[in-house]
C-alpha cells in the first residue's frame, strides 16, 4: 500500500493522533520501544547553513516495525520546496511483511505538534495555579501553524496567540490565517506559554523576556550544535524531555548550556518522575523520535484499511 501526502491528510487527525502519541511516550519511558539513535549524513550539497542532511530512523514497538528516512535542506525555502521531506516504511513485526510505504512530510509536521500538545496538556495543569491565557510563538513556518492547530485541541480555551518572526510579513500572514497577532519578539516571549519553532543556529529567546512562571515548548534548532534558547532560559528552568537520551545527545541547547534534564514526559505521565514545580519556569524540549512517526504511520495505515473495508 502506498499512501501519498494527500491520503495522509485525509485520514490523520489531531483528535486521534494526540492520545496515540501520549501512549507512545509512556511506552517509550517504560522501555517498551526499541529505538536506536538516528543516523545522520550531511549531503555536502552546499556550504554553511544550506548544507542539507539525510537521516535514517528505525524503531520497533508493539505489533509493527518501521523506518523513516528524512531530509532537511534549508536552502529549499528559497525555491518553494519543502525544507523537510520524508518517507516511512511500515512492517509487520511478526513476519517482516511490508504493510505500507507512505509520504512522511505531513506525518513529521503533525506528530511534532502532537508531542507538544501532549506536553502542554500534561504540564500545564501541574504547573499553573490558573489556566494560562496567552500563547507566544517564535517562528512563523510550518511548525508554528501546526502547533496552533494541535494546541487548540489540547487547549480549547486558547484565544490569545502572539507570533513573532524574523520576517514581519510572514508573522502577519500566519496571524491573519489563524486569528493571532503579529508582535515584537519580547511580547511573544512574555506570554504564559511560549513555543520556539525556529531554524536558529544561535539563541533567539532570552530568559530575561520570559515570565517567572512561563512554560516553554522548544521544538526548533534540532541539532547537536544548534541553539535557540540562551543559558538563562536553560539554567532557570525545570527541564522535561520527550527522551532524556535523545535530547542530551541531539540538542545543542542542552549540551552547551550545562543544564540537566529533570524528567521525561512519559515518566511524568506514568507517575514515576518527581513532581513538576508550581513556581519557576518549566521547559519541554523535543528533538523528534522514530516512535512518534511509527505511531502516526500505524494510525494512517489502520484508518486506510478501515475505509477500504467499508467500501
* DSSP codes joined into one string, 245-303: HHHHHHBHHHHHH---EEEEHHHHHHT-SPPPPSSSEEEEE----HHHHHHHHHHHHHH
CA pair distance 240, 268, nearest whole angstrom: 9
> For residue 112, which of 73, 143, 135, 85 has the smallest C-alpha distance?
143
pLDDT at 311: 55
| 142 & 259 share domain | yes
| 81 & 124 share domain | no
> For residue 119, which of 258, 187, 18, 188 has the smallest C-alpha distance?
18
Task: At 282, list the grid cell.
Answer: 518549566
In which domain, by residue range, is 156 found? 112-288
| 269 & 156 share domain | yes
Q: Quick one: 245 exposed, middle or buried, by C-beta within 10 A (0-12, 13-18, 19+)?
A: middle
Tens digits of residue pLDDT in 174-225:
999 999 999 999 999 999 999 999 989 899 999 999 999 999 999 998 889 9
Tens digits of residue pLDDT in 26-59:
999 999 999 999 999 988 888 877 888 999 999 9
Number of domains present in the structure of the chain = 2
One-character DSSP codes across 76-125: GGGGTS-SEEEEEEEEETTT--EEEEEE-HHHHHHHHHHHHHHHHHHHHH
Question: Which phi and psi angles does 110 have, rounded to 5°?
Answer: -75, -40
CA 212 to chain CA mean position, Å? 24
Residue in the structure block whose three cell numbers are 520570559:
210
Tens digits of residue pLDDT in 108-167:
999 999 999 999 999 999 999 999 999 999 999 999 999 999 999 999 999 899 999 999
| 159 & 251 share domain | yes
pLDDT at 212: 97
| 284 & 295 share domain | no
| 254 & 155 share domain | yes
Does the structure show a pLDDT above 80 at 71? yes
CA pair distance 172, 166, nearest whole angstrom: 11
pLDDT at 309: 75
CA pair distance 42, 210, nearest whole angstrom: 35
pLDDT at 5: 97
pLDDT at 306: 85
| 120 & 245 share domain | yes
| 117 & 73 share domain | no
| 215 & 295 share domain | no
> CATH number, domain at 13?
3.30.1780.10
| 255 & 157 share domain | yes
For the segment 86-102, the average pLDDT, to the nearest whole number, is 98
| 245 & 304 share domain | no
> CATH number, domain at 250?
3.40.50.720
Residue in the structure block whose three cell numbers are 517482516:
96
Tens digits of residue pLDDT in 5-24:
999 999 999 999 999 999 99
Tens digits of residue pLDDT in 230-284:
999 999 999 999 999 999 999 999 999 999 999 999 999 999 987 899 999 999 9
| 144 & 250 share domain | yes
> For residue 266, which of 32, 13, 36 has the smallest C-alpha distance?
32
pTM, 2 dp = 0.95
CA distances from 235 to 187, 241, 259, 274 (A): 22, 15, 6, 18
Amino acid at each position: 500500500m502506498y499512501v501519498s501526502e494527500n491520503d495522509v491528510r485525509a485520514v490523520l487527525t489531531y483528535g486521534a493522533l494526540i492520545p496515540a502519541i501520549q501512549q507512545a511516550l509512556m511506552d517509550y519511558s517504560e522501555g517498551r520501544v526499541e529505538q536506536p539513535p538516528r543516523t545522520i549524513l550531511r549531503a555536502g550539497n552546499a556550504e554553511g547553513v544550506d548544507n542539507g542532511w539525510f537521516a535514517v530512523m528505525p524503531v520497533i514497538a508493539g505489533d509493527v516495525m518501521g523506518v523513516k528516512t528524512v531530509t532537511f535542506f534549508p536552502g529549499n525555502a528559497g525555491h518553494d520546496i519543502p525544507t523537510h521531506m520524508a518517507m516511512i516504511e511500515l512492517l509487520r513485526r511478526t513476519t517482516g511483511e511490508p504493510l505500507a510505504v507512505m509520504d512522511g512530510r505531513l506525518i513529521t509536521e503533525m506528530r511534532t505538534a502532537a508531542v507538544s500538545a501532549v506536553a502542554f496538556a500534561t504540564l500545564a495543569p501541574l504547573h499553573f495555579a490558573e489556566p494560562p491565557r496567552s500563547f507566544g510563538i517564535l517562528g512563523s513556518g510550518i511548525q508554528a501553524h501546526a502547533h496552533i492547530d494541535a494546541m487548540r485541541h489540547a487547549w480549547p480555551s486558547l484565544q490569545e496567540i502572539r507570533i513573532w518572526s524574523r520576517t514581519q510579513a510572514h508573522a502577519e500572514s500566519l496571524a491573519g490565517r489563524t486569528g493571532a497577532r503579529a508582535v515584537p519578539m519580547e511580547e511573544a516571549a512574555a506570554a504564559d506559554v511560549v513555543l520556539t519553532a525556529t531554524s536558529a543556529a544561535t539563541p533567539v529567546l532570552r530568559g530575561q523576556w520570559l515570565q517567572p512562571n512561563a512554560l516553554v515548548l522548544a521544538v526548533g534548532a534540532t541539532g547537536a550544535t544548534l541553539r535557540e534558547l540562551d543559558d538563562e532560559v536553560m539554567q532557570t528552568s525545570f527541564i522535561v524531555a520527550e527522551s532524556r537520551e535523545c535530547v542530551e545527545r541531539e540538542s545543542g541547547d542542552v549540551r552547551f548550556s550545562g543544564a540537566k534534564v529533570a524528567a521525561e514526559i512519559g515518566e511524568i505521565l506514568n507517575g514515576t518522575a518527581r513532581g513538576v514545580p508550581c513556581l519557576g519556569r518549566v521547559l519541554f524540549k523535543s528533538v523528534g523520535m522514530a516512535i512518534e512517526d511509527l505511531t502516526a504511520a500505524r494510525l494512517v495505515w489502520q484508518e486506510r484499511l478501515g475505509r477500504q473495508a467499508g467500501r
